[in-house]
Amino acid sequence: MTPDRTKQSVAHPHEAQPAPFPASRKVYVTGSRPDLRVPFREISLSPTRRADGSEQPNPPVRVYDTSGPYTDDVPHRNLSEGLRPNRLSWILERGDTEVSDASCSVPADEAHAFPAKRTRYRAKPGRNVTQMHYARRGIITPEMEYAAIRENVSPEFVRDEIARGRAILPANINHPESEPMVIGRNFLVKINANIGNSAVVSSIEAEVEKMRWAIRWGADTIMDLSTGKHIHATREWILRNSPVPVGTVPLYQALEKVGGRPEELTWELYRDTLIEQAEQGVDYFTIHAGVRLAYIPLTVNRTTGIVSRGGSIMAAWCLAHHRENFLYTHFEEICEIMKAYDVCFSLGDGLRPGSIADANDEAQFAELETLGELTEIAWRHDVQVMIEGPGHVPMHLIKENVDRQMQVCKEAPFYTLGPLTTDIAPGYDHITSAIGAAMIGAYGTAMLCYVTPKEHLGLPDREDVRAGVIAYKIAAHAADLAKGHPGAADRDNALSKARFEFRWNDQFNLSLDPERAREYHDETLPAEAAKTAHFCSMCGPKFCSMRISHELRDQAAASEQAALGMAAKAAEFRESGGKLYS
Amino acid sequence: MTPDRTKQSVAHPHEAQPAPFPASRKVYVTGSRPDLRVPFREISLSPTRRADGSEQPNPPVRVYDTSGPYTDDVPHRNLSEGLRPNRLSWILERGDTEVSDASCSVPADEAHAFPAKRTRYRAKPGRNVTQMHYARRGIITPEMEYAAIRENVSPEFVRDEIARGRAILPANINHPESEPMVIGRNFLVKINANIGNSAVVSSIEAEVEKMRWAIRWGADTIMDLSTGKHIHATREWILRNSPVPVGTVPLYQALEKVGGRPEELTWELYRDTLIEQAEQGVDYFTIHAGVRLAYIPLTVNRTTGIVSRGGSIMAAWCLAHHRENFLYTHFEEICEIMKAYDVCFSLGDGLRPGSIADANDEAQFAELETLGELTEIAWRHDVQVMIEGPGHVPMHLIKENVDRQMQVCKEAPFYTLGPLTTDIAPGYDHITSAIGAAMIGAYGTAMLCYVTPKEHLGLPDREDVRAGVIAYKIAAHAADLAKGHPGAADRDNALSKARFEFRWNDQFNLSLDPERAREYHDETLPAEAAKTAHFCSMCGPKFCSMRISHELRDQAAASEQAALGMAAKAAEFRESGGKLYS
């Protein structure tokens, strides 16, 4: 349809292996067993140069790393082979799975099929392979220990949070390539990046590249929302090469199977789609089981009606048949499928507000009540659950969303899209929503689904993905700081120290986007000498406050007496109320 | 130093007159006198097309307009002539001013001097020409009525807010070209854009273009922070062509006059600089009178010391002479100058935190106490005051800044820089700070000083100014929505209605940046037909939730009975607790 665009979306050779971040090296921390190796990125810093010419070393800074084997010393390159299935031995050790052949029934898409075939597993009859099931039996899995090391907390704490449903660890037994991570409000705030083609643009290569690009910038999970051609093959390529959990909305593929006619959807066809995707290794499913027939009339007078794709499809089915949502009526059977592969529920908010005008309305909160009801059902099956949230919400209505969700859904992790805090800035919705995302994260939301600058306008390309991920890493980190997450400020403090000491390269290297920071600085001062200059082009040499601050310190240091004198004066002034005028 | 860059910063011919916004026309509302004409931008919308083919017109949307005569039907073009001094007659009518010749003493910079000479005015001996002075005497000035019409409130309300010091109306009698506006927490949240050259880059033309560019995107005031060559001439060019209030930091020019050596600053030289700039028409001065000798030791152990340029300069002077800040000791004399021209104080936060680590510390709040003291002194002189605020502040510490400022400074308008909510994203600080700006605006901050993507890295160029202004228009508008400002949601609702009705052009035209919105959409669907298509490339035709929503509505409409049936069902479900499972 738009060849130029498609070409543009396809990975270029030089993109196939993005340059590693400067001054960074991949390090692995080994846990209680040799095959449990947890990745971090270590950023090395240059020493502080004192006025007397002496040097003081600055310790390297370790940061959480989502980039996977693509940033190893020997980077993974062969996409046709896929990543090493590191978790497979842990899964098989548990002895509660068996080989499945159901996937054979999936019509192979030879032209685009992923070449390397994988054995598919499912739980033995009557067994439950969810991390929640293990956690509730007091078992600390290698996955839990792995996530605990990443978060710098105890494995027992991770187990306990999963057991009580306040955190989830998405780890489908058929996605052994994944590096375990945990989503819950007592852990670092996570972000999800949506990728996937549409009927209009994109290609398999482009989507796999978007996945690798998204995790390079820090996406903790990705959702494949493909609705175009080769859905099964695209998903297989992504899963086999993704070190982060992958989520999907199975309804999209189901709708493709019936030619895009919602009324032709059936439970049997949907069920088979769930199994097909669970056997591929999808880690969480968005399931719009809360869009009940009874709630649809509540949306008729809205400004923007139903803006969730899945929500609108199920609403269309309900109306066409005048029957209750089959995802709701078959929910227990869905739970049986989820626990056979350990797929997490991401209970979709099909009636989320699509505009400021519709925020926190009756339709939205009616659905939330149902999601709370379904959460308890899933938990009875030891199936992990997170709850999806809005949408478009003005700032003063954001907190109510978190408070209600925690109460109604018994603290199951909240996973929100933004929210966008105004409707008037299409083209900048990564910013309108980063504001809402930072706030809702600080209030206790566990994962933030990114919004790119193309929201409402078109399918995001690579640069949009980068802009969206960085905006959301900012929101998530701002929330971690506000929540007082231990150690969250270490990177801020290291960067600010580098900034104050004019260690420009360290400032760039510690930032979320070192390339962009350096590029902006070098636009005006490209010379290497400027990388230690005590000013930048913003204020110029004479007006650099930090340079002057250093001179003040040197003066103070030079004259201990003066310093004491000043301190005394300071005390005296404060005692006297510090006023000249009265 | 960097010729390429300088060239890049200079206005190109095609930039000299930015294209008018699409479907927009400038309208003027006339007040109680024929020469009181208040500008708005009216955005016309296309009609709603109903399913039955009938059309329903959508009323045009009027928005606050800061762009000045550059967007009139006959746009102002001659920059060498300057804008028409619309306010001059109002000023002279008051009969409390006289012609001044002090400006003659300013050494003209012939090479770059502004060609058209202007008569300079000052208050007659013993008179006070501040808007606060008139307000306190019960006088509603044309300026107050003008601002009231812009804000859709009564002139008396504007007068009362100014009289009690809770709002300011920056309107130097020597800047008669300005279009009056009001800054206070009971009015729309305003944004400021910083421009100005540095010793490293930029030119007069470039700065004038940046001003016009900034107001086109919606800057309510601009600050000329020039520290490079031709400071006086640059400021004159900007003032004569600026329809928005202009602020400066006079200390920068004073420092230039002493070759950049803070210790050589004197009160007399600073005073003459104040008068020089007041006679040019600067509407507000940032004055760092709160950086007291006694507070400097409080900054010695900070992570980033003193990050305010003005603050560091005054601290250096205090230490060099071991004497109290001369701006503090001469504050009453400064008030005498301010009231002779109606220049507002923007009391500078010279000790604002420059990093998350230094937020809300003793140094910052010690200075705030002094700013509260100085506010009361200024008010005794009927001089208008706003208070500058941080800086770098994590989200959970933002509210304390507003609460303390309101209490200590008796509700004088708060004017904050961001704040940035994390230090780790240089290159994206328009986003890290838009989060803090939206929150602090919702808490009651009256004006937000923008931060561009180049913050900490270099001098912003045109595109950086655009990105910074849009990010801050978003933050200010999100705050207006959160504060429930009357009518604030009208534009959101009109845009969302257009979005839901697939009136793509209306959606673009109503957005803060119509060009960007259209550009993003057209990247994948450039055809004009797509401007009414019921989908975009994000989801493609089959998966557009809004399209499906419409079909649902049509069904509901088609079958009144069905709708009633659904409604009944809905009621029944809700009464029965709406559960299938129990």
Q: What is the pLDDT of residues B518-535, one digit of tens each?
A: 999 998 888 887 787 777
Which residues in chain B are contacts of A322 at CB distance < 8 A?
562, 565
CB contact under 8 A, B255 and A543: yes
**Mean pLDDT of all residues in B263-276:** 97
Given a cut of 70, whether residue A368 has pLDDT beyond it is yes
Angstrom distance (rounded) from CA A263 to CA A251: 13
**For A44-53, A83-92, B359-368, which range has the lowest pLDDT when averaged over its residues?**
A44-53
Count other Cβ atoms within 10 Å, centred on residue A462.
Answer: 17
Say yes or no for a CB contact (<8 Å) between A478 and B432: yes
Check whether B537 has a pLDDT greater than 80: no
Q: Say whether B305 and A520 touch across the interface (CB within 8 A).
A: no
Residue A417 DSSP code: E
Report pLDDT digits (tens) over A93-113.
Answer: 999 999 997 654 566 666 788
| Residue numbers in A near B296 (CB within 8 A) | 552, 566, 570
Query: What is the per-residue DSSP string for B104-125?
Result: GGSPP-TTT--SS---EEEEPT
The letter for the amino acid at A441 is G
Instruction: Show Cβ contacts of residue B144 under 8 Å, excluding neighbours closer than 6 positions.
Output: B131, B134, B135, B155, B158, B159, B162, B169, B180, B182
pLDDT at B1 over 50: no
Mean pLDDT of B282-301: 96
Chain A residues in contact with B545 by the CB 8 A cut-off are 305-309, 311-313, 354
Q: Which of A115-119, A553-557, B502-506 has the lowest mean pLDDT?
A: A553-557
**What is the least distance, in Å, from the CA of B26 to any CA of chain A?**
20
Mean pLDDT of A487-511: 96
Please give, rounded to a whole number of angstroms, the shortest distance from the CA of A356 to a CA of chain B: 7
Question: Residue A553 has what pLDDT?
Answer: 76
> Do A306 and B549 count as a contact with CB atoms less than 8 A apart?
yes
The rounded distance, in Å, linking the Cα atoms of B415 and B192 is 9
B220 vs A52 pLDDT, higher one: B220
* Candidate from B543, B570, B578 with C-beta closest to A252: B543
Average pLDDT over residues B53-81: 95
Measure in Å the smallest separation between the Cα of B85 and chain A Cα atoms: 33
Q: Which pLDDT belongs to residue B188?
A: 98
Distance CA A169, CA A156 (A): 14
Closest listed residue to residue B385, CA positions, set B286, B252, B243: B286
- Is pLDDT of B538 > 90? no
Strands B246-248 and B221-224: parallel
Is A227 in Cβ contact with B569 (below 8 Å)? no
pLDDT tens per residue across span A242-293: 999 999 999 999 999 999 999 999 999 999 999 999 999 999 999 999 999 9
**Contact between chains at B422 and A474 (C-beta distance less than 8 A):** yes
Calculate how close chain A gets to B474, using CA atoms only, in Å: 6
Q: Determine the distance in angstroms separating the CA of A412 from the nearest CA of chain B, rounded to an integer.
A: 19
| pLDDT value for A14 | 38
**Residue corresponding to tokens 């010793």:** B199
pLDDT number for residue B13: 38
Chain A interface, best mutation among B295, B452, B500, B537, by max A CB count within 10 A:
B537
Testing the interface with B: which of A421, A445, A500 to mutate, by most B Cβ within 10 A?
A421
Residue contact A500–B305, C-beta within 8 A: yes
**pTM, entire model:** 0.93
Residue A508 above 70 pLDDT? yes
Residues whose CB falls within 8 Å of the CB of residue A298, separated by 6 or more in sequence, listed in order:
A351, A361, A362, A363, A366, B570
Residue A523 to residue B458, Cβ atoms within 8 A: yes
> Cα B520–B521–B522 angle (5° rounding)?
95
CB contact under 8 A, A477 and B422: yes
Q: Is B350 annotated as a binding residue?
A: yes
Mutate to test the interface with B, among A4, A370, A461, A545 (most CBs of B within 10 A): A545
Could you give the CA distance from residue A80 to residue B370 in angstroms, rounded to a whole number? 67
- Cβ distance of A517 and B457 shorter than 8 Å: yes
Q: Which residues pair with B387 in a beta bridge?
A: B347, B414
Check residues A36 and A545 and name the one with the higher pLDDT: A36
Chain A residues with CB inside 8 Å of B295's CB?
Answer: 570
**Percent of the residues in chain A that have a pLDDT greater than 90, as a whole number:** 78
Nearest beta carbon to residue A499 from set B456, B459, B477 = B456
Q: With a cut of 90, say whether residue A82 has pLDDT above it.
A: yes
| Contact indicator for B87, B178 with CB cutoff of 8 Å | yes
Report how many Cβ contacts below 8 Å link chain A to chain B.
485
pLDDT tens digits for A204-227? 888 999 999 999 999 999 999 988
- A427-451 tens-digit pLDDT: 999 999 999 999 999 999 999 999 9
* Distance (Å, whole) CA B152 – CA B148: 6
